[in-house]
Structure 1
């Protein structure tokens, strides 16, 4: 039982960093801060793995602190791609907010599991982290005479690996590559999932799909949306035809259109133009539809 145990400072710190990451990513006033990148890297490269390591290895004897840190890095590097792969098969897709939400929920839940497993152990056997014990462990590892030279060399290699990883991250943060500029453009079915698209129509009747646009161009862009059936434009309301989005702003609305010609396997195109090129679509997608006369 927990009794009068000290709170698990390491797990509380992990949970706090997850919440701070969410705040710095989701709050517009903070999303441009340098700390957003720092917290984001921690969430992707360390926090999920640390929580999972704590849950799998709750006892002190299971693993030393330095080895735990290295294992946390390795597990996190595995968890983040798997989370993205799973999101790819959902209606949310591999987007910033869904992946952030998934990693945050996973890390906080596993922190809870880790705490539960620790309190099942006697207090002197459960793994815990304090500044004093961490310094003492490092001194004992490198300065005391016990232990073989191979053990000390391995410990030194682990510390160097962690420092190199941290240094590499710092270099990447301090020397970012040029930001990739792009626009997301997609269509969804009426239920906002990537399936059940309306493909069978009666001439004169309308159909609806959900059109989504997200601006990652690092500037405000004025878009023009056009729908063409067999290269013939279909009318759209002005507020859906002309769309202006700021950087990182999204637009996702049901768009209703009415096929004007009859035919089978006709190409229904959704074309997105930007402000600099009005003749060639900047982004495009399409459906194949059938339109029959009403009997």
Structure 2
């Protein structure tokens, strides 16, 4: 047994990243930062698996560095869905804070188990990430004149390219491109299903359909819905509805109407206008209806 030993830097770094992720997710002022996305990806895709790998394979001889990293990634991808599946059967459910707490606690416990397992091994056999040796080697390569000037120039250029790539990736993750702006507009039958639409009427009969609008325009939109039969507006007040929706919100309500004309295969249109174009329908759906006297 090796006795007491300083907490390894890699475990300190993992624990620090877990705590930092919790802070960036839970503190409202920080939750909008792109760093939250980067830290969240690390917590989901790497840190739990790295801590578990350390607890299962604490010795240097168990795995090489690149194999350890790949196993950490694979285990994390397995751990997160299993944890979500377990939480789905609890009162907490699969929500952000419970999942964050579960992953954080699991990772920190595994860090403790890793430290304990490494303590059982001699210093020379316990796995550690050679941060200090890597820094010293890099310093010797770049600053102390080892190797030719061309080699040092390529090394510096490589470091700049790696840092630029990491910065670009962080920017892309933190500032995702907005998807296409669009609005969903649809009608359903009276039971809220895409069936049993009321299409046959006698004069004076009323019909009801469920109308739905979902805003994905990346902004708040004021919508106006208008009903027309054979291109003629239905009488007010059932002719028009006004709906204001914030981005990524929806509206669905029953709409009742009374066809004012008699005829067969008449086109009943539901026209949706947005706040930027008042004369040309932005979206439209329709039904073919019959209004006939009973014989």
Provide TM-score, normalisation by structure 1.
0.49
Provide TM-score, normalisation by structure 2.
0.49
